[in-house]
Structure 1
């Protein structure tokens, strides 16, 4: 008996290693994965004008307020990442705090939320590249869905490979994007002199402003991606230090970066005119501003990088989605084939391909149904954003409950384990409520679509709970694994 145990030990260790993801990302590369999710150029060119439309000269201050609140969220989040070390991300966190049924519900919110957010990219990429090829390059008018299928194939190949390859691609693209936005900031601040920059200032928003809620909601959405640092636990160097540092750097970096970009818009148009300019020219505000400030050649370069920005964003989301699918499959809550690890790349290659297939199939289906691509990306992005926001709110509650339970046996810093998580619950609860009350604006859709997609989102969480309860009764061997608590 003892001989069998000794002989089996190396096999068990080898099998465990074969079923684990592997990578060598450091803080910088992990931060670039996060930044890619927020798609800097797409945010500055697409989302910031919308935020300016709602908030005007108070946009920079709103970004700094959201930065402060998410830094507070990060305190409990980082503390939790050191206490719950499974590579399941929010799936593991919610399980540890609220139990396996809620954990499985949270995992389904994460998986479908990220897949939905990512599906904005193929249609947006297709339409943008089609217009650039025809209108700027004078090239052939190729249907948008071919470009959409093409980008899906490219990101799937990259996601199939070792995470280090994706990290290198994302780092290069992000550095180029950041460079373009920095140039835009500098020339915007320089255009009207120092007095214009000082006049733009950092005006504080009024609590009585009717559009403040929507402005906060859109600003929070620009930070998404930082919360996924924990899903890469097995693929980074020194996880405890790398994840915590990358989380704080990402939140602070994103907040300052977008606050300065908003300030640059305001300095260029003037504090009293920025909101009106954004309302009158929301779609082309960035392109027209860059063209006026730097000329058409630089504006065309910015457009090319906007296209690659969408690719980077899609790749980042595909990597995250694949890892949630992988975690669920490892726990046998999804088909085991999705939990396979590539023998050489140490990547969740089957899950990565599955996510790409879902996006490609959805593109084909909506094309056949005749749905305009312009109608797809706001619905996909908005509904997915709501799912992830709801998940963050649930996770903040799970973190608070987890540490409250431990206080009698393992008391720790009151700030890190009680106060910061409690503030996060209140803040994210308020933002979630704003998302619910403004859901039509979030998805750019009708009342009917609001009911459909909001019902589906809550059904995901409730369905996960019901599924877990079923597993507890019928498949206890699977139930005990939920939350990445057992590793093969």
Structure 2
């Protein structure tokens, strides 16, 4: 292994003063991660679905997943200090498994995040459309105009310096988190009999029906904490900021959703929560907020749900743009995508490219007559599988990387061997569950399952083939893959 692994190679883009720049601190970085999971959207939309599958074990599932991802974070943080490159999982997979696998992983990430982000235009449009028509008695504007408007707003914000996005995301996260906290307090204040007599929830067991899908939904809520290393060039003191933000994000997300799930049970009763979620999945949060706090609070919650979707899409667009930028800076994608704005120091061309791809997809699906409610489960489900597969590959890459280094640079057994092994096993199980439950993940048919799953694996193996092509035809580009020099 080359000793240059710890530093990034000066790419042509960087020598032309196109390095990304920013001034985010720990708090702003954590908010970027939290925004990805869209807290209010998760509590109002995803949690009721999870309760349908898990019932009174939902808080325990979040606690279990939090512990497992904290163990994953041990190797993740250690890797971030060994591979000081802003390429995220792309750099980590390259360091552990080589440049071909790294490029395959980067394509998984890029398309996965672009797919996940495309959940937002349709969900945002349907939510805003319903609010305007039913609450404000306004005009019934076609959904695609709202969707295209959202894409314009997030693209303008992402086009600017990352500090602007960080401020917007921090403000929105604080407001929507406050709504969830008020809901939680009101729910616990009602105090069902189960809550008075005991804890009110139980830990999951391997034989529980629906455990597989519940775990998938729970793990998906943590996606985005990779951003802590993707923004390496845009944070203050990355060696301190990245580890702190990573652990704070994982613990914060896990506890936030565990308490919210527990609050549902406090309000509905642990024995009744699964049936209630099945009977009223869509409006469980809104009806609960209305009953607990009042109609005005519920309406405020809807407004913040709309801004929550915007914040989530902005967070995802920032991450996707930086993957596109990294690949372009290395020469694997067109050079123009590796340009950095001279004033904002943002990957503005890649940002525009992501926004235009979403806008084009919105137009195409509208013309094709695809219902907007059919778009967001397919987009988020297929993208989630891509990122989950990449996380599993990354966990294996981290293990391989440190095993190889033990002969000449032995380090903590827990950080470099034990924790990565546990992560490989855990994420391997979750990936298997995703494959076996893929139709439910995307809400589609067996034909759609075959198409999207085949495309996902084709991205990874296609990236490997592309890397070998570059090694043969463009060795200078191949040498830069992974944003570092590795033997």
Same-fold call, TM > 0.5? yes
In the other structure, the counterpart of 1:143 is: 142
* Corresponding residue for residue 108 of structure 1: 107
Q: CA deviation at 1:194?
A: 7.6
Pairing 1:251–2:225 present: no
Q: Which residue in the other structure is 2:95 paired with?
A: 96
CA contact (8 A) 1:200 1:263 kept: no
Residue equivalent to 1:303 = 302
> What's the counterpart of residue 6 of structure 1?
none
Q: 1:337 and 1:266 mapped to 2: Cα distance?
A: 52
2:417 corresponding residue in structure 1: 418
Q: What corresponds to 1:160 in structure 2? A: 159
Task: Kindly indicate whether the alpha-carbon contact (under 8 Å) linking 2:339 and 2:348 is maintained by their aligned counterparts in 1.
Answer: yes
CA distance in 1, matches of 2:194, 2:347: 53
Secondary structure at the aligned position of 2:340 is classed as: coil
Instruction: Supply the distance in 1 between the matched residues of 2:103 and 2:184 (Cα, whole angstroms).
Output: 44
> Is 1:183 matched with 2:189?
no
Q: Which whole-Å deviations, capped at 9, do the CAs of 1:1-58 have from their partners, x for residues lacking one?
A: xxxxxxxxxx999963711000000000000000000000000000100110011011
Alpha-carbon distance, 1:197 to partner: 5.0
Match of 2:67 in 1: 68
Cα distance in 2 for residues equivalent to 1:422 and 1:141: 54
Q: Secondary structure at the match of 1:18?
A: coil
Distance in 2 separating the partners of 1:272 and 1:29: 39
* Contact kept in structure 2, 1:197 and 1:267, CA below 8 Å: no
Aligned to 1:430: 429
Closer, same or farther: CA 282–402 of 1 in aligned 2, 3 Å: same
CA contact (8 A) 2:13 2:19 kept: no
Q: Show the counterpart of 1:7.
A: none
Are positions 1:458 and 2:450 aligned together? no
- Post-superposition offset of 1:209: 1.1
Aligned equivalents of 2:231, 2:101: Cα separation in 1: 22
Distance 2:383 2:302 in 1: 25
The answer to whether residue 79 in structure 2 is matched with residue 80 in structure 1 is yes
Shift in Å, 1:200:
5.0
SS at match of 2:141: coil
User: What's the TM-score once normalised by structure 2's chain length?
Assistant: 0.96
1:232 matched to 2:225? The reply is no
Equivalent residues of 1:159, 1:349 under 8 A apart: yes
Q: Return the TM-score normalized by structure 1.
A: 0.96
Q: CA deviation at 1:227?
A: 2.0
Question: Hey, what does 1:207 align to over in structure 2?
Answer: 206
* 2:13/2:338 contact within 8 Å kept: no
- Aligned-pair distance for 1:196? 3.0
- Cα distance between partner residues in 1 of 2:145 and 2:329: 34
Name the stretch that deviates more: 202-211 or 347-356: 202-211
Distance apart, 1:198 and its partner CA: 4.7
Correspondence list, 1:380-391, <5 A: 380-391=379-390
Match of 1:266 in 2: 265
RMSD: 1.5
Aligned residue in 2 for 1:281: 280
Q: Deviations over 1:154-181 (max 9, x none)?
A: 0000000000000000000000011000
1 CA distance for matches of 2:206 and 2:278? 21
The CA deviation string for residues 447-473 of structure 1, in whole angstroms up to 9 with x for no partner, is 000000000000000000000000001
Please, which runs of 5 or more residues in structure 2 have no aligned partner?
1-9
SS in 1 for 2:24: coil
Return the alpha-carbon distance in structure 2 between the equivalents of residues 15 and 382 of structure 1: 35
Map of 1:3 onto structure 2: none
Structure 1 residue 212: Cα displacement: 0.8
User: What residue number does 2:314 align with?
Assistant: 315
For residues 104 and 83 of structure 1, the distance between their equivalents in structure 2, rounded to whole angstroms, comes to 19
Deviation at 1:207, TM superposition (A): 1.4
Q: Distance in 2 between matches of 1:60 and 1:271?
A: 11
